[in-house]
Amino acid sequence: MSNHGSIIPEFMAQNQNDTFKLLFPLKLVLDEDRFGNSHFDVVIKNMTKNEVFSYKLSPELLFTHFPIEKSFANGKKNNFYKNKYIEEKSFFINTSILNETNTKRLHQILDEKDIVSLIGWKRTFLNDAKYANCYLIKQDDIQIILPHFAIAIYYYFRFTEMREAVLDCNLDSLYKFCCDDRDDAKIVLNTPRTDEDAAFIYRFACQNTARNAFDNMGKYVHHYLNYMRNLEKVVDSIPIKATFPVKGKFQIDTRVNTFTNNETKEKFYFIYEIVNDYSDIGFNKFTKIIERNKYIPNINNIDNLPKVDKEVPHNTTEVLKPVPATKKYTQTQHQKDRKKTCGSLNNIEIDSKVVTQEIIKDLLKIYQESESKDEIDQSLTDSGTKGEKTVRKVVISSSFEKIEIKPLNEIDNFVVFRQYLNFLQKQSNIENLYSSDVKYIPEFTIKKDNKEKINPKCKINKRARQYLTTTFKYTDSYIGLIELENYPSSAASSWVIISNSHITEDIFNSFIELYFKEDKTISDMIEKHKKTNPKFTKKNHERNKIFDDIQLAKWYIGLVAKIR
């Protein structure tokens, strides 16, 4: 993963004179503590040393800084090792006709040798790459292979907070409210955003097709995990899957390579990257409104302003700084070498304002009063649809309304876990079941950027993370369970420790330290202790439910299978 506060991945920082290429995102590696912190597992090639390996990277880095199949040394682009087969090409596509029948696995389209060439001729990664989800688009006597990862990167992983919102199913965290009006669209944000990113947030907030596509990204993670749990399989990564947030015919600019199927002699364009799109964004005029709680009355007093300490996130990328737009859309340049990043904003009038929270509240009242006088036709707000009426609809984020949706309570997985414990206590072959009171994770430090820092995993909501422990005997085995406090959007699973002797507090602490002090992943811990005494594994469970006996029994049977 990339270093704290840096956009240079560790493998580049440790080999500053070497040139690297990012070749192929294989899958989404899940962060069980919080899905929003998940990463892409990306095939990387050290071009200088001719070495191929995989590495976990934040997905947005492939959009903002490190496009696929371009060369970089120490975080900076260079012109070495150009792939002469890659060209820039534009296509007109019709996303209205794309569905599951158009979705293929890569091996269903390309020969194996072509797939291996995409991953640096390293067959180690073939099994993951061959099952990559792709759209196969046939039109105008050409065939286009559009990997889902290219759609995900361009539309959903444009910046860190968007990646977190997508995977946590929390679109409302990106905005306060929108005025959905094709002729005078507005969005209120509490964080400065580029024109492009603000426009994408607006689309997701106001257009049903886009909102559903956004929500489905996070739901897919949960549905896939539930499916695998039913098969009692341990899952730490899932295939990348994404759909277009807009339905209609429009142009996309891409970087492609051409492949020919040896058996059928069919020619395919394989898209590495969507560079730009020209889909209907849903408005003709757009205003970004940024909330600032206070203005600085005198610039001379800026050094005397009070300072507030803040927590540094575990994984960060460069902050993308917007350029205020005047009159017409102006382009913001990031490190990526793009002529444009949002053709949908061509010839769109864009304005930007900074106002206080009190003014924003007044604006909301004005827009809502105006809305009540307008005739609302939802179909006219869908992307790709243009009507003659002036339609206004105010879309308010639940975060702005201060609505807190907590299906059970703040620590809902504890409520679920205790249901399982109550069921265990009733089973005749469970002996000496004991469950602890709530405990608190100590502030373990880890070394990052040559500095000692508290491991972010030790805290939730800026306080010490909580956990529960349970011990019992099943036949000849002694069992220990650890239930860590989790975010409501995170995976739910209990740690399972199996021993031929009593589970002591020291044993619990040793696994706690592996995860928090040594910063090991759950997968690493399972792999290292799958044949040791004590043995370590995990048992997935549902959450946000009140279970019936059948559901509890199903979980119990799965737990017993882990023990045996």
Q: Report the Cα 234 to chain-centroid distance in Å.
A: 20
The residue length of the chain stands at 564
Q: Is residue 89 part of a domain?
A: yes
| pLDDT at residue 60 in the model | 95
Q: Is residue 342 part of a domain?
A: no
| pLDDT at residue 140 in the model | 79
Query: Cβ–Cβ contacts within 10 Å for residue 267, how many?
Result: 12
Which DSSP string do the residues of 506-517 spell out, in sequence order?
HHHHHHHHHHHT
**DSSP-based three-state secondary structure for 559:** helix
Q: Of 277, 307, 334, which residue sits at a domain end? A: 277
| pLDDT at residue 486 in the model | 85
Query: Cβ–Cβ contacts within 10 Å for residue 476, how many?
Result: 6
Q: What total number of domains does the chain contain?
A: 2
Q: Tally helices (H) and strands (E) across the chain.
A: 13, 27
| pLDDT at residue 302 in the model | 37
Question: Are 131 and 107 a contacting pair, CB within 8 Å?
Answer: yes
Q: Of 260, 277, 294, which residue sits at a domain end? A: 277
CA gap 365, 370 in Å, rounded:
9
| pLDDT at residue 363 in the model | 65
Write out the chain's pLDDT in tens, 564 residues: 444 445 789 899 999 999 999 999 999 998 877 888 899 999 999 999 999 999 999 999 999 999 999 999 999 999 999 999 999 999 999 999 998 889 999 999 999 999 999 999 999 999 999 999 999 999 878 899 999 999 999 999 999 999 999 998 889 999 988 888 899 899 999 889 999 999 999 999 999 999 999 999 988 888 887 777 666 676 788 999 999 999 999 999 999 999 988 888 889 999 999 999 999 999 999 999 988 765 444 434 434 444 444 444 444 443 333 333 333 443 333 445 444 568 899 989 999 888 877 676 666 666 555 555 544 444 333 444 444 334 446 677 665 554 333 443 344 688 888 899 999 999 989 999 999 999 999 999 988 767 888 998 899 888 999 999 999 999 999 999 999 988 776 767 899 999 999 999 999 999 999 999 998 888 889 989 988 999 999 988 776 567 788 888 888 888 998 898
Q: Is residue 48 part of a domain?
A: no
Q: Is residue 490 part of a domain?
A: yes
499: phi then psi, degrees, rounded to nearest 5 = -140, 160
Burial label, 475 (beta-carbon count in 10 A; 0-12, 13-18, 19+): exposed
Quick one: which of 325, 329, 340, 331 has its CA closest to 251?
A: 340
Which DSSP string do the residues of 71-86 spell out, in sequence order?
EEETTEE--SS--TT-
Q: Is residue 422 part of a domain?
A: yes
Q: Is residue 383 part of a domain?
A: no
> What residues make up the domain containing 238?
81-277
DSSP state of 390: -
CA gap 521, 523 in Å, rounded:
5
Q: Is residue 270 part of a domain?
A: yes
Tell me the whole-structure pTM to 2 decimals. Answer: 0.70
Q: Of 277, 309, 327, which residue sits at a domain end? A: 277
Q: Which residues contact 494 (CB under 8 A, 6 or more apart)?
A: 417, 420, 481, 482, 483, 538, 539, 541
Token pair belonging to 36: 């929003």
Q: Is residue 31 part of a domain?
A: no
